[in-house]
Structure 1
Amino acid sequence: MSTASATPTRGHNRRLIAVVVLVPVLATLALWAFAWPAARTAPRDLPLGVAGPTAATAQVERQLARHKGAFEIHRYADEAAARDAVEDRTVYGAVVVTAQGPELLTASAASPTVAQLLQQATAEQAAAAGTEMKTVDVVAAPATDPRGAALTASVLPLALAGIIAGAAVTVLGLRGIRAAVALFGAAALVGVIAASLAHSWLGVLTGDWWTEAGTLSLSTLAVSAAVAGLAALVGPAGIAGVAFLVMFLGNPFSGAASAPRMLPEPVGTIGQWLPPGAGTTLLRSVSFFDGAAATGPALTLTWWAVLGLGAVLLGDALRTRTRASKPVAERELTPVG
């Protein structure tokens, strides 16, 4: 067999081995990323308020302490202060001890899963003490989406829209300012359409329409700019890199179906550094809590967008400089005479 014929054969064998090995590895990573956090969902230092006279709340705190590592207790003087903390997203709920009996304040808009968990945990304690726990949903989820299923379902489409927009800009050869304008335009249109569907049609978002549209646009731009930016610096492989990060880690680590504090560490924290998690948290804040606790996730999405767009412009500048230097180098190497 000649060397020329053997070389293609070895190349095909390498690609065959790569496919056989790569697919199971990706499947394993996907199962780990999606199944492991879901299987380990439980409260971990979940912020929970306790309000009322010190003597009365001491027993409540002792009962909550039995759930080791589950709750991070915040103490408040009265029910009004506890309500403010729930509305400001400082805590997910609060147990208030009153003269009429214990009362649980929840916020199903923050997380229906957490609200249900708090009801179960406090109901068991109240039953053991021979009392009945009254529950007040301070910030309720919309009646059209009481379990938050529609909001949770929006995470994947927004991530896909961002990946597709960034990949399209790269494949179509848009660079520099044109690429940035295309990314901005696509993200803005996605935000308007998503807000029209989720707010105007389905009624699962209840905040200011334009603020929600801006949030959805920023979430899309954070992903699309990262995809196009990394691709501008390292080539098409950048598309796969960001897509893997957003889909395989950002999606399951977002805590959208439960809450970041319900995921094993450091999954919950990592998820809030990635666009799907930050976008979900920001959307809840602007839609149900009048923008409370929105600064952190808004800054996270902004940094993703700014760095991605900066990489798009930098990649174009480097490519232009490389092209400009080639004729000069060729002239220097060309012999005179």
Structure 2
Amino acid sequence: MDSRRMIAVIVLVPVLVGLALWAFAWPAARTAPRDLPLGVAGPPAAVAQVEQRLAQREGAFELHRYADEDAARGAIEDRTVYGAVIAGDRGPKLLTASAASPAVAQLLQQAVAGQASAAGSPVQVVDVVPAPGTDPRGAALGASVLPLALAGIATGAVATLLGLRGARAAAALVGAAALTGLVAAAIAHSWLGVVTGDWWAVAGVFGLSTLAVGAGIAGLGALLGRAGLGLGGAVMMLLGNPFSGASSAPEMLPQPAGAIGQWLPPGAGASLLRSVSFFDGAAATGPALTLTWWAALGLCAVLLGGALRQRTQGDSPAPDRAPAPAAAA
């Protein structure tokens, strides 16, 4: 038995390290634009030249044509595109939104300015939706994904390991997530100022993100036991966190990592936080529904697991009782 455990440790640790390196290092090493939504506007002849130059980076951009600069600005504010190139006689103008992703804004400046410089045209850069001055590179917002994931994992695991079942477990998960949302908003919004927008909406996003993770973990634990806790924690940490695209953008990750990340709570939470904080809720429906489904399904699994456990205990036969000793004559 001891030799088997020793072999298991020797094999398991390198496997876990390999999985962690793959999950975290692979997306970081392959960061590049892949069908990144980008708008173009201006006279048809000038737009055609811009599109031709951008098409040289095959597969990098998904181009959207707009009638004029105002329409392109509206698309950026609605989070339909990350930026736009406005073609004109005096050279191109680049519209960016560093609040959507500072990394993408910098990439667009390099790509468009480099091509314009080669053509001998100056480039005017306008940040339509700028990131807050307290977090111009988006580092703090990206760093918030891991603590929220850890908070959700800890909440779900602790509620399960403490033996909370059914409605009590669900109430504990909701209460802990709500308080986590308030604390996170107080730190990120009130103190650090790295997110803006309505305070209560931001707190709601933080709380819903934590609940989605915690309910998912607790739901798997209620149905599968400790194996469910391990499975849920591994998915959130090894897939949800590195595939979230919070530090760049989902379209900057190798596929299908970017798509998978948006179907998991950390990625959906980061996208929803950007929409609520900087874009007045634009494009918030998708990630909000993703988080809601995770939370709802997780809580349903917790309630179901509690009901099944209670039925199993109720149906179990009572232990045999030893016959009472005969009374002394």
Given the two structures, how large is their TM-score scaled by the length of structure 1? 0.93
User: Is residue 2:245 matched to residue 1:255?
Assistant: yes
Which residue pairs with 1:59 in the alignment?
Answer: 49
Any idea what SS the aligned residue of 1:98 has?
coil
Work out the number of aligned pairs and report it.
321
Which has the higher mean CA deviation after the structures are superposed, 84-93 or 94-103? 94-103
Quote how far apart the aligned CAs of 1:87 are.
Answer: 0.4
Which residue pairs with 1:290 in the alignment?
Answer: 280
Whole-angstrom CA distance in 2 between matches of 1:131 and 1:102: 7
What amino acid does structure 2 have at the position aligned with 1:299?
L
1:146-186 superposed Cα distances (whole Å, 9 cap, x missing partner): 00000011010000000111111011111111101100000
Quote how far apart the aligned CAs of 1:329 are.
Answer: 11
Q: 2:69 aligns with which of 79, 82, 85?
A: 79
Whole-angstrom CA distance in 2 between matches of 1:125 and 1:226: 47
Which residue pairs with 2:224 in the alignment?
Answer: 234
User: Is residue 2:315 matched to residue 1:325?
Assistant: yes
Runs of 4+ in 1 over 3 A off after TM superposition: 328-331
Given the two structures, how large is their TM-score scaled by the length of structure 2? 0.96
Which residue pairs with 1:37 in the alignment?
Answer: 27
Q: 1:121 aligns with which of 92, 95, 111?
A: 111
Which residue pairs with 1:217 in the alignment?
Answer: 207
- Unpaired stretches in structure 2, ≥5 consecutive residues: 322-329
Which residue pairs with 1:47 in the alignment?
Answer: 37
User: Is residue 2:160 matched to residue 1:170?
Assistant: yes
Quote how far apart the aligned CAs of 1:45 are.
Answer: 0.5
Quote how far apart the aligned CAs of 1:201 are.
Answer: 0.4
Any idea what SS the aligned residue of 2:210 has?
helix
User: Is residue 2:16 matched to residue 1:16?
Assistant: no
User: Is residue 2:192 matched to residue 1:192?
Assistant: no
Which residue pairs with 1:303 in the alignment?
Answer: 293
Whole-angstrom CA distance in 2 between matches of 1:93 and 1:280: 19
Whole-angstrom CA distance in 2 between matches of 1:99 and 1:35: 44
1:5-53 superposed Cα distances (whole Å, 9 cap, x missing partner): xxxxxx2221111111110000000000111110000000000000011
Whole-angstrom CA distance in 2 between matches of 1:222 and 1:329: 40
Any idea what SS the aligned residue of 1:115 has?
helix
Quote how far apart the aligned CAs of 1:56 are.
Answer: 1.3
Any idea what SS the aligned residue of 2:195 has?
coil
Whole-angstrom CA distance in 2 between matches of 1:97 and 1:226: 48
Whole-angstrom CA distance in 2 between matches of 1:213 and 1:41: 30
Any idea what SS the aligned residue of 2:125 has?
strand
Q: 1:179 aligns with which of 169, 184, 193?
A: 169
Which has the higher mean CA deviation after the structures are superposed, 56-65 or 91-100? 91-100
What amino acid does structure 2 have at the position aligned with 1:28?
G
Which residue pairs with 2:144 in the alignment?
Answer: 154
1:197-241 superposed Cα distances (whole Å, 9 cap, x missing partner): 000000111111000000000000001101111111111121111
Any idea what SS the aligned residue of 2:87 has?
strand
- Unpaired stretches in structure 1, ≥5 consecutive residues: 1-10, 332-337
Whole-angstrom CA distance in 2 between matches of 1:158 and 1:32: 22
Q: Percent identity?
A: 73
Whole-angstrom CA distance in 1 between matches of 2:129 and 2:319: 67
